[in-house]
């Protein structure tokens, strides 16, 4: 059996972690096992499921330059106690260099950097991230990506022009997301959404996701559609800030804050349209999920067009609120939905097919270490 050590933040319900769990559930775990190197001490929503499937979870001292010696000491112990590790895969953006450098130092032969983002968040860690990004080429020797935009961001023009990377799609369990009228009816009834025009968003509450803009658009849209209702799934650092804004604007009864839930697939059924006004994305798995549910989707123009699988996907600049309102209005006028299984499969986003490909790739890479 091959064991892959994945470096992540922690295994909570978010885009990267959901993608990893989709693959983990569908690979042959007698051949390939996933273990997780978590850089936060906070337990993750997927922890128990991982343990039941035979995966291990390790916690590091965190990705902080001050604690780097402690980090290396932790990694040395992990590699010493688990000599079977031949493949380490980092999903932490530029900070993934921590795991890859430690893997290189302790002679791990296959060091994969998996690019998920098409930009780097300019927060207080920005200077550190710039240094880490510059160090990535010295420490990775394999390139995985969710899409071309993410590859261009992290690997550079030369690697992309040579096609020296593996496209690992943010694949989903299509059967869970295809349109289901009975689930739609139940979810809308249970959540008091009957006869409402439901705008849905799924994403962590963080600056990148642009919730402030979304609330502003919704406030304007309410002026022409008093029957509109906004549903926000997820949690995160800006949840309290956005909650305050909703209260200040007096629209508490028009907005449902769902939190982090395990039945996201059912919530898509309840929506009438899906919006994602992110400042940047790599290739958002929520966009794949929403199109699998055959929802009209309105994406920020800054998101890669690679996510536009369906003719119902529109891309609008966040500088143009009027166009967002117009596209939402159009979406509400066409609520017909159909089974999009073939669309998802033909675009290489069906997990049952893609998991086999990834499993074979890991087996191939492990063979190179013998």
Do 2-171+350-368 and 174-346 agree at the fold level? yes
Distance CA 111, CA 97 (A): 10
Tokens representing 195 are 């006869």
Distance CA 158, CA 164 (A): 9
Percent of the chain with pLDDT over 70: 99
* Band of residue 370 on the pLDDT scale cut at 50, 70, 90: low
Taking all residues of the chain, what is their mean pLDDT, rounded to a whole number? Answer: 94
Of 115-119, 120-124, 200-204, 285-289, minimum mean pLDDT range: 120-124
- List Cα–Cα distances, 57 to 4, 30, 48, 274, in angstroms: 12, 18, 10, 34
pLDDT by residue (tens digit) across 146-160? 988 899 989 988 899
Question: Which residue in the block uniquely carries the two structure tokens 């159909």?
Answer: 338
Q: In what order do the strands lie in the sheet with 57-59?
A: 57-59, 32-38, 2-8, 87-90, 110-115, 142-145, 166-167
Residue boundaries of the structural domains of the chain: 2-171+350-368, 174-346
pLDDT by residue (tens digit) across 51-104? 999 999 999 998 888 888 999 999 999 999 999 999 999 999 999 999 999 999
Distance CA 183, CA 185 (A): 5
Question: Which residue in the block uniquely carries the two structure tokens 């390939």?
Answer: 32
pLDDT by residue (tens digit) across 15-44? 899 899 999 999 999 999 999 999 988 888
Average pLDDT over residues 356-360: 96
* Sign of the alpha-carbon dihedral angle for 106, 107, 108, 114: positive
pLDDT by residue (tens digit) across 256-285? 999 999 899 999 999 999 999 999 888 899
Q: Is 227 left (phi over 0), alpha (psi -120 to 50) or beta?
A: alpha
Quick one: 174-346 is in which CATH superfamily? Glycogen Phosphorylase B; (3.40.50.2000)
* Residue 226 burial class via C-beta count within 10 angstroms: exposed 0-12, middle 13-18, buried 19 and up: exposed
Whether the per-residue pLDDT at 341 is higher than 90: the answer is: yes
What CATH topology corresponds to 2-171+350-368?
A: Rossmann fold (3.40.50)
Average pLDDT over residues 106-123: 87
Distance CA 199, CA 49 (A): 31
Distance CA 369, CA 110 (A): 8
Length of the chain: 370
pLDDT by residue (tens digit) across 180-190? 999 999 999 99
């Amino acid at each position: 059996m091959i064991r892959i050590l994945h470096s992540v933040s922690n295994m909570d319900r978010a885009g990267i972690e959901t993608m990893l769990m989709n693959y983990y559930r569908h690979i042959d775990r007698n051949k390939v096992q996933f273990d997780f190197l978590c850089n936060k001490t906070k337990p993750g929503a997927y922890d128990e499921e991982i343990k039941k499937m035979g995966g291990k979870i390790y916690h590091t001292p965190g990705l902080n330059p001050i604690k780097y010696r402690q980090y290396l000491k932790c990694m040395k112990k992990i590699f010493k106690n688990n000599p079977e590790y031949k493949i380490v895969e980092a999903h932490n953006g530029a900070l993934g260099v921590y795991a890859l450098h430690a893997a290189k130092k302790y002679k791990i032969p296959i060091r994969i950097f998996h690019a998920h983002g098409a930009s780097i968040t300019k927060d207080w860690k920005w200077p550190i991230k710039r240094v880490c990004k510059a160090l990535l080429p010295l420490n990775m020797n394999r390139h995985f990506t969710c899409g071309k935009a993410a590859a261009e961001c992290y690997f550079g023009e030369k690697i992309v022009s040579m096609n020296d990377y593996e496209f690992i799609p943010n694949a989903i369990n299509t059967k869970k997301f295809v349109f289901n009228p009975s689930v739609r009816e139940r979810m809308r009834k249970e959540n008091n959404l009957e006869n409402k025009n439901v705008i849905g968003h799924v994403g962590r509450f963080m600056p990148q996701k642009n919730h402030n803009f979304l609330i502003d658009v919704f406030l304007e849209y309410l002026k022409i559609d008093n029957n509109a209702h906004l549903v926000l799934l997820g949690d995160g650092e800006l949840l309290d800030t956005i909650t305050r804004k909703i209260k200040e604007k007096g629209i508490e009864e028009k907005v449902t804050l769902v939190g982090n839930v395990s039945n996201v697939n059912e919530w898509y059924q309840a929506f009438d349209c899906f919006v994602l006004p992110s400042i940047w994305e790599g290739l958002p798995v929520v966009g794949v999920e929403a199109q699998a549910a055959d929802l009209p989707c309105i994406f920020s123009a800054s998101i890669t067009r690679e996510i536009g699988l369906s003719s119902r996907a529109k891309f609008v600049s966040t500088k143009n609120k009027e166009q967002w309102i117009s596209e939402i209005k159009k979406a509400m006028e066409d609520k017909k939905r159909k089974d999009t299984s073939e669309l998802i499969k033909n675009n290489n986003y069906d997990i049952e097919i893609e998991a086999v490909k990834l499993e074979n790739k890991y087996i191939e890479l492990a063979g190179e270490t013998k």
